[in-house]
Structure 1
Amino acid sequence: MSATMGGVDLISIELGKNSDFDRRIARNVLNIMQLESYLDRVIDPAAGSFYFETLTENIAESAWLQFQEMTL
């Protein structure tokens, strides 16, 4: 997902059994993520996600506390 949101042109996928189906899926993963999920067209795909919002808030609070300790 990060690669798609970042706008990469190529994703290298390890093949499982090296079958025709596996090769087809590996070729199409990037297309599926870009063309069907629209991850590359949404400004903030994680917006509204409770987990991401909570995690971000916890990281920000922790960083702020560490910063305040450094300035004392």
Structure 2
Amino acid sequence: MLKQIMDEVVNNYDYSQTLDIPIEKLTGVEDQMPFGGIRSLPEMADYIKNFSEITARTVLVLPEL
């Protein structure tokens, strides 16, 4: 019965809709503060974005053998 319900939900969900809700509220962590040294979700997203941009621009040049 549960599988049938879940199949109906998944099959009928409109995946094209946009969610206007912060990721912290969506995941239930909006009131949680990270421990020292742990980044918040927005900080981690910025870190990953910056890291990706830096690594995309970095060209590794190896010496010829």
Give the TM-score range, shorter chain: 0.3 to 0.5
More helix by proportion, 1 or 2?
Answer: 1
Greater relative CO (CA pairs within 8 A, separation 6+): 1
TM-score (norm: length of structure 1): 0.37
* Bigger radius of gyration among the two: 2
